[in-house]
Structure 1
Amino acid sequence: MSATTPPTTPTPAHAGAAPGRRRVLAQTLFETRAILRNGEQLLLAIVIPVVALVGLTRATFVELDTGGASRIDFLTPGVLALAVMSSAFTSQAIATSFDRRNGVLRLLATTPLGRGGLLAGKVLGVLLVEVVQVTVITLTALWLGWQPDPAGTVPAVVSVVLGTAAFTALALLLAGTLRAEAVLAVANLVWLLLAVAGGVVLPADQLPGPMAHLALLLPSGALGEALRESLLHGTLPAWSVVVLLGWTAALGWGAGRLFRWH
């Protein structure tokens, strides 16, 4: 090197990369489009909840103990909980597990997006999908005559956020520890079991035998109860909040310790 040649300054690894917020936003939009463009996930996230809402509301031959509320007022909170569980848990677990199997997670984790940005994009993508779900289900329910308690709007939003956190943590725990094919089977089976006997659409106290007590301790039962109390009575039950926070902490800790990126 000659005396007149200026010294070379090392180039940072992420030089020229977009700002962190833009990277996360781009990943968020990608995750959202991936879910909404996938026919199977779209069926699980939106079509099934809407069909369940319309079918159970119109099927008057099916006996329901609504506690004095109309059928649509009683059923809508549970269907919203089912929709949150579908997108935050089942769709997220399956998509993340196949991304992991195909090496997508390992590749993205080494880019300027980083692991934190990737996870943030996935969580925010779930929330955007839930906005679409809630909008579609709400419009359908209003068309069917739904009259929610206006005071329950904020408690319902809090319930959805807490439920999303708990089920996303469960999704990442499964996706980061099991093979993709196993996640596909387990996630769908768990979704079906929780939908039928997890206190989601029907309150825990209407389930048979010990399930009436067990469901209250499950994230599905806690979310269903939180949304029902919020939208029927305008209150957020403290026990549901405790259960959802407990599951989020436990599952998040497990995912953080056990998640494998390849």
Structure 2
Amino acid sequence: MTTTTHAGAAPTWRRVLAQTDFEARAILRNGEQLLVTIIVPVLVLIGLTQVDVLDIDTDGMSAIDFFTPGVLALAVMTSSFTSQAIASAFDRRNGVLRLLSTTPLGRGGLLIGKIAGVLVVGTVQVLVIGLTAVLLGWRPDALGVLLAIVAMLLGAAAFTSLALLVAGTLRAEAVLAVANLALLLLALGGGVIVPADRLPGPLEHLALLLPSGALGEAMRQAFQHGSLPAWSVVVLVGWTAALGWGAARLFRWH
């Protein structure tokens, strides 16, 4: 048996770390990506909490306490799904993914770097949005923050899997349209910002089965009640497994 070696190649962890840095910087330096991942969620938070645009019963909570968990969930979706799907699709079209997959980084290292890059961007998002919410009067408790971190990691896993499935099977131009449209539809009727039980008709039940609704509910329960609903965890893990399997089977590198 022969073992493939790469003379002069950096250790695996260093290669993955370099790719992570590249992925995060590529998103944060891109004006359009920055708009989608950070500026839009911040504007949504300010709009929902400072302007009475939605006639929704907040269960006696202040607007900032009611809407902040959903906006943070929306932020997770923008970085792990919309941004990652578009970036990966155009990298695939331009041959970047195929080229990187043949380097010492390898396909596994490339995917790990992409996922880690999403987590880095997500951390920046949470810090910016969280600080904005605190300035607007939000005061989360420590337990809620810890449980919300778990929910965000589960949500990031599900939506990154969806991003890779879409980016690896559709043309880049189609991904651009699908990713943005899906984000808009899920934000409005997927139980992210507006809780599922406030949605009309069958959307109330459908939203809880979607990764968006499960993430939104998990974030609200974590921050507002200090708990993590088991059903949301099951839904997010289930979607991650199904979408991850689909991405592994169907992803095309060129």
**TM-score, normalising length from structure 2?**
0.97
Superposed CA deviations along residues 23-78 of structure 1, whole A, max 9, x for unmatched, are 00000000000000111110000000000001110113532211111110000000
**C-alpha separation between the residues in 1 aligned to 2:52 and 2:203?**
25
Q: Mark the CA change 1:195 to 1:121 in structure 2 (over 3 Å): closer, same or farther.
A: same
* Aligned AA (1:231): F
The CA distance in 2 between the partners of 1:11 and 1:257, in whole Å, is 26
Query: Is 1:253 matched up with 2:245?
Result: yes
1:173 Cα offset (Å): 0.2
Q: Which residue of 1 aligns with 2:130?
A: 138
Give the structure 1 partner of residue 61 of structure 2. Answer: 69
Separation in 1, partners of 2:62, 2:193: 15
In structure 2, relative to structure 1, the CA distance for the partners of 1:12 and 1:247 (3 Å cut) is: closer
Q: CA deviation at 1:215?
A: 0.3
Partner AA of 1:50 in structure 2: V
Cα separation, 2, equivalents of 1:42 and 1:221? 24
Gaps of 5+ in 2: none
| 1:61–1:51 Cα change, 3 Å | closer
**Offset of 1:231 from its aligned partner?**
0.6
Contact kept? 2:168, 2:253, Cα under 8 Å: yes
Residue in structure 1 matched with residue 89 of structure 2 by the alignment? 97
Aligned to 1:126: 118
User: Taking structure 1 as reference, are residues 192 and 22 closer, same or farther at Cα in structure 2, changes over 3 Å only?
Assistant: same
**Kept in 2: contact 1:152–1:230 (CA 8 A):** yes
Give the superposition deviation at 1:13. Answer: 4.0
Q: Distance in 1 between matches of 2:10 and 2:53?
A: 57
Deviation at 1:149, TM superposition (A): 3.0
Distance in 1, matches of 2:54 and 2:251, equals 43
Unaligned runs of 5+ in 1: 1-9
Alpha-carbon RMSD across the aligned residues, in angstroms, is 1.2
Larger deviation: 55-64 or 221-230?
55-64
Aligned residues with identical type, % of pairs = 72
Give the deviation of 1:12 after TM superposition: 5.5
1:53 corresponds to: 45
Q: Which amino acid aligns with 1:225?
A: E
Task: State the match for 2:151 in structure 1.
Answer: 159
Residue correspondence of structure 1 range 172-187 to structure 2 within 5 A: 172-187=164-179
Q: Which has the larger radius of gyration?
A: 1
Q: Deviations over 1:231-258 (max 9, x none)?
A: 1111000000000000000000000000
Among candidates 187, 193, 217, match of residue 195 of structure 1: 187
Between 1:140-149 and 1:159-168, the stretch displaced more is 140-149
CA distance in 2, matches of 1:255, 1:117: 16
Query: How far apart, CA to CA, are the structure 2 residues paired with 1:77 and 1:149?
Result: 13
C-alpha separation in 1, matches of 2:155 and 2:168 = 20
Aligned length: 253
Amino acid at match of 1:26: A
Q: What is the CA–CA distance in structure 1 between the aligned matches of 2:3 and 2:117, rounded to whole Å?
A: 32
Q: Would you say the 8 A contact 1:93–1:174 is kept in 2? A: yes
Which amino acid in structure 1 is aligned with residue 39 of structure 2? V
Secondary structure of the residue aligned to 1:217 is coil
Listed one character per residue, the Cα deviations across residues 183-206 of structure 1 (whole Å, up to 9, x for unaligned) are 001011100000100000010000
Q: Distance in 2 between matches of 1:12 and 1:42?
A: 39
Distance 1:14 1:132 in 2: 34
Partner in structure 2 of residue 150 of structure 1 = 142
Q: Confirm or deny: 8 A CA contact 1:149 1:230 kept in the other structure.
A: no
Deviation at 1:225, TM superposition (A): 0.3
What amino acid does structure 2 have at the position aligned with 1:256?
Answer: A
TM-score (norm 1): 0.95
